[in-house]
Amino acid sequence: MEEQRGGKLAGKHILLGVSGSIAAYKAVDILRRLQEEGADVSVVMTKNAARFVSRLTFETLSGKSVFTDEFEETERKGIGHIDITAGLDIALVAPATANIIGKVAAGIADDALTTALTAIACPLIMAPAMNDRMYRNVVVRKNIAFLREQGVRFVDPDTGPLACGTIGQGRLAETEKIVQDVSSALPAKDLAGLTVLVTAGPTREQIDAVRFISNPSTGRMGYAIAEAARDRGATVILISGPTEIAPPAGVTVIPVQSASDMYRAVMDRVEGSQIVIMAAAVSDFKPTVSSDRKIKKHDAPLVISLERTADILSAAAKAPGRKLIVGFAAETDNVLDNALQKLKSKNLDMIVVNDLMKKGAGFGSDTNAVIIIDRAGVQTELQVMPKQEIARRIIDKIAELKAN
């Protein structure tokens, strides 16, 4: 196969998961096509998948041992699901049964495949194959929707004759479609060598030791952007206000609390960054006086005097050095007019605006809907979709601007 290693997947390490569907035989063709495109493929099978197609078939074609049982006695020295998922560029489950989709959605890891999928640190694609009634099942649809929100990509099944003798949507997608989607999901390393500074989450402006002014930001959008930039090869610094999100792997995370903290953290690092993406929801106001002790209710003033916080975005845009500056705007009225005014007044290269009145957009949601506007006034509208996908599209636009 060496003469075929120059394809569009050359040098990519792919995990192919095969679950217990009659369509498992098609995974053999998928393996061959991935190899023909130059990929290095490791195969993990469920025990039920091995009832449809032998493990030996995949071992012969891949030239590697197939992982089917964590407790099987082998010469392997490491931990199976950790070893096989190290250094992966992408994981593909084809076919993906309703059972395997449900397990992944629930975080269940009780066999070789689900344990391996729990350990991956790379994009995941699932290609469902099942009876059409199963595919329409409300729980299956809910599981797929949930996984999409977490950034899992799906290759929708085709409609046609099914193994049970009926006609409906449930046939495993064609091999070429699956391989193309794998190729498309692998991010280009077009930001390699660049440092990307991202801010995320809310800030907290203390009134006293137990009370503060803040906003509903969860940080999900900024974290997704940091991960998307990392996947494109950038060195990423994430300056984050208080969130409940786990720090992204491969990203330098700097936790902050207040707008002043975030200002100092940004200004300390902005000159060494080539791209600055200000996705944090920074408080615009803070109390003029705060206490490091709890103010008792009967002693508290009924009016709190406020002052403006520092304008971090404007300061970053004025910092020395040539850099691409991206701002964010969350609006409820005159959405486009306000975004354009902010783009010009703060001298930004690009702004991402979302309408907080739009269902599925804004704070506290796993989805978002935005309009991206660049310095030239070109607008790109993204309808409601998972924040991970929004983040990838934002990075696509940034990479395009950086290249021009």
261 vs 206, 238, 254, 257, 309, CA distance in Å? 12, 14, 10, 6, 11
What are the contacts of 354-359 at 24+ separation with CB within 8 A? 354/329, 354/330, 355/331, 356/330, 356/331, 356/332, 357/332, 358/384, 359/384
Instruction: Please check whether residues 172 and 240 belong to one and the same domain.
Output: no
* Residues 246 and 347 both lie in one domain: yes
The reply to whether 118 and 149 lie within a common domain is yes
Contact between 154 and 177 under an 8 Å Cβ cutoff? The reply is no
Whether residue 190 is contained in a domain is answered as: no
Q: List the catalytic residue out of 109, 164, 267, 384.
A: 164
CB 129 within 8 A of CB 171: yes
Q: Which residue did the predictor score with more confidence, 271 or 168?
A: 271
What is the CB neighbour count within 10 angstroms for residue 305?
A: 8
- Residue 17: CATH number of its domain: 3.40.50.1950
Q: Which domain holds residue 374?
A: 195-403
On whether both 280 and 210 belong to a single domain, the answer is yes
Is residue 5's pLDDT more than 90?
no
The reported pLDDT for the residue numbered 173 is: 94
pLDDT tens, position by position, 330-383: 888 998 999 999 999 999 999 999 888 888 887 878 888 999 999 999 999 999
Residue 367 is predicted with a pLDDT of 85
185, 215, 238 - which closes a domain:
185
pLDDT in tens, 16-41: 999 999 999 999 999 999 999 999 99
8 and 103 fall within a common domain: yes
Q: Bigger pLDDT: 170 or 28?
A: 28
Tokens representing 61?
A: 């074609």
pTM: 0.74
Q: What does the alpha-carbon distance between residue 67 and residue 111 come to, in Å, rounded to a whole number?
A: 10
Q: What percent of the chain has pLDDT over 90?
A: 68
- The domain that holds 338 is classified in CATH as 3.40.50.10300
Alpha helices in 107-158 (DSSP H): 112-119, 132-136, 138-149
**pLDDT at residue 365 in the model:** 80
> Are residues 218 and 86 part of one domain?
no
Pick the last residue of a domain from 127, 151, 185: 185
Tell me the C-alpha to C-alpha distance, in Å, between residue 390 and each of 105, 228, 271, 387, 393.
Answer: 21, 10, 27, 5, 5
Residues 206 and 303 in one domain: yes
Q: So what's the pLDDT on residue 1? A: 38
Give the per-residue pLDDT at 122: 87
- Would you say residue 112 lies in a domain? yes
pLDDT tens digits, one per residue of 117-131? 998 988 899 999 999
Query: Do 286 and 213 fall within a single domain?
Result: yes
Q: What is the pLDDT of residue 391?
A: 94
H/E segment holding residue 128: strand 124-128
Is 48 in the same domain as 125? Answer: yes
pLDDT higher than 60, residue 3: no
Q: Is 122 assigned a catalytic role? A: no
**Would you state the pLDDT for residue 78?**
61
Whether residue 172 is found in the same domain as residue 202: no
Mean pLDDT on 76-87: 72
- The per-residue pLDDT for range 233-267, each reduced to its tens digit, is 999 999 999 999 888 888 999 999 999 999 999 99
Helix (H, G, I), strand (E, B) or coil at 298: helix
Bridge pairing between strands 235-240 and 195-200: parallel
**What does the pLDDT average to over 45-69?**
93
Among candidates 174, 91, 161, 103, which has minimal Cα distance to 132? 161
Q: How many helices (H) and strands (E) are present in the chain, helices listed first?
A: 14, 19
* Nearest C-alpha neighbor of 172 from the set 38, 13, 323, 18: 18
Does 30 reside within a domain? yes
- Which is more confidently placed, 110 or 3? 110
Question: pLDDT value at position 247?
Answer: 87
Bigger pLDDT: 303 vs 362: 303
Six token digits for residue 226:
């940091």
Give 135-155 pLDDT, tens digit per residue. 999 999 999 999 988 889 999
| Banded model confidence at residue 6, pLDDT cuts 50, 70, 90 | low
Query: Does the residue 51 lie in any domain?
Result: yes
Report how many domains make up the chain: 2
- Domain match, 81 and 130 both: yes
CA angle 201, 203, 206 (to 5 degrees): 155
237 shares a domain with 138: no
* Residue 176: predicted pLDDT: 94
pLDDT of 2 reads 41
pLDDT > 70? residue 76: no
Last residue within a domain, chosen from 185, 207, 229:
185
Q: Evaluate if residue 71 carries a pLDDT over 60.
A: yes
State the chain's mean pLDDT as an integer: 90
| HSE (side-chain half, CA atoms, 13 Å) at 231 | 23
Q: Answer yes or no: is 344 within a domain.
A: yes
